[in-house]
């Protein structure tokens, strides 16, 4: 904490001999100036703040966010191949966060848990999912998917499936280029370990992921 100089800045004294003052006039001297902070003190102050910032960043990255690189085209145009994003690793840990339809999630691939996939949640537990010539139907209603341009859709169909408890139905946004729940089924809740939240590279796409 910076010290506050509480010395009275007004020095009141009798005038020196030979100096006349008008009746009632008080002669004052300039206020004492605050001692300048030394260069060593400034360096110590900046170093302390820098160390604190670095430690805080490390804690946030290790326990809350993780940088990952997107590989493949299954999430285009939302995410392009080789883009870098941050995923929130804490939000789904210990069932802390609720996984909603529309979330872009990162999970261990059920067919090979050594691999990680990134897809969009389309069906949550209890939903009934059907694909009719490329159009997704959830609980009997066509799903509005503004994130899937017409040129990224395919014409495949899938008969209705019910999403079991603690499992999720996921699809890539690039439907004609995605290996997803239509092919290998649901993703168990315990396999989902992160939510994609922010694009940090390339710079022209930097921003919150929707």
Three-class SS state of 180: coil
Single out the catalytic residue among 35, 119, 146, 195.
119
Contact status, residue 170 vs residue 74, Cβ threshold 8 Å? no
Q: How far apart are CA 37 and CA 7, in angstroms?
A: 18
Return left, alpha or beta for 183; rule: phi > 0 is left, psi -120 to 50 is alpha, else beta: alpha
74 in active site: yes
Q: How far apart are the first and last CA of the chain?
A: 42
Q: Which two tokens stand for residue 139?
A: 């609980």
Q: How far apart are CA 75 and CA 59, in angstroms?
A: 29
Single out the catalytic residue among 53, 74, 89, 178.
74
Q: 123-139 burial, b for 16+ CB within 10 Å, e for fewer?
A: bbeeeebbbeeeebebe
Scanning the structure block, which residue is given the tokens 């959830």?
138
Q: Nearest CA to 169 among 107, 97, 91, 112?
A: 107
119 in active site: yes
Cβ-in-10-Å burial (0-12, 13-18, 19+) of 75 comes to buried
Active-site residue numbers? 74, 119
């Amino acid at each position: 904490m910076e010290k506050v100089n509480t010395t009275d800045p007004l020095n009141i004294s009798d005038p020196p001999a030979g100096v006349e003052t008008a009746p009632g006039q008080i002669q004052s001297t300039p206020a004492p100036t605050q001692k300048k902070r030394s260069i060593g003190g400034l360096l110590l102050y900046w170093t302390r703040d820098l160390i604190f910032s670095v430690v805080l960043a490390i804690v946030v990255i290790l326990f809350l966010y993780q940088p990952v690189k997107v590989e493949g085209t299954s999430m285009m145009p939302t995410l392009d191949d080789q883009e870098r994003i941050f995923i929130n690793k804490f939000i789904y840990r210990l069932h802390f966060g609720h996984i909603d339809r529309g979330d872009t999630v990162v999970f261990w691939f059920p067919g090979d848990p050594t691999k990680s996939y990134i897809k969009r949640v389309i069906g949550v537990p209890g939903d009934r999912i059907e694909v009719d010539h490329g159009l997704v139907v959830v609980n009997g209603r066509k799903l509005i998917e503004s994130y899937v341009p017409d040129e990224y859709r395919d014409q495949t169909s899938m008969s209705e499936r019910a999403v079991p408890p603690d499992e999720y139905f996921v699809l890539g946004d690039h439907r004609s280029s995605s290996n997803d729940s239509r092919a290998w089924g649901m993703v168990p809740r315990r396999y989902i370990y992160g939510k994609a939240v922010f694009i940090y590279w390339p710079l022209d796409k930097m921003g919150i992921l929707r």
